[in-house]
Structure 1
């Protein structure tokens, strides 16, 4: 009986350490998406937030934030604001930039957390939230599994954002 318990404990430690392994240092994700040209009377460039959360819903990394000059409107990026912005909005200069016109875009994520450390292998969710003044709001929520396997996937297009394509490379 003691032998079985000992073997079980050793297996749990080994499995735990295997699950906590970091993604390879060379890992990265390319995120491609489109901001469609909308034929509306009062078009404003959209605010865009792209970030990653862990399986517990904690923000791991803010990848991009495209906003106007007036940060008062950041709260309109609702999901991002509720999860991160209202609590830690002071450091947004590190990853924010100006809004962009309609077109195709790519951003890179180096598979590191906000501290610059490689993330551990496991389940995450990538979010892309797009909000336009006098317009709509779309949220793409894409579950991803990071580890030793490369993958590519695409989401369906929505009104304020075209399809989002992810390409994870090691």
Structure 2
């Protein structure tokens, strides 16, 4: 089992969210926030999830309050906001620290020392594409929209490899 898939996080509802459930599935990990100028990306993230979920793809939203304190709500408030405002059905974790000394092990794997794409997370809605084997394949800036051609191409190329 990869180090990525060995992790277990907590979902917004407090239940366990083992990354092992994504073994064999392409995953887009995105740090999210409810009060950000980029929050509208939830619409395209949900559309991406709907478009490819039956082909072995998922999105994982990771709420974080480290950037401009733009995710101040409780777990319940975040869940309600995401489902009622944007119809989000992809999994969301509890709020995590993603930068700094106390950052979550998930983000140490994604962007820490020795990672494929190391470096501090720059803002809300930074995206990591993780293979079904737990390898980080690509990193996309917060300003890269979920329906950006480069991101779509990376997803489709990986799904084609897995299907072939």
TM-score above 0.5 = no
TM-score using structure 1 length? 0.22
Q: Which has the larger radius of gyration?
A: 1
TM-score (norm 2): 0.23
Q: Which has the higher helix share?
A: 2
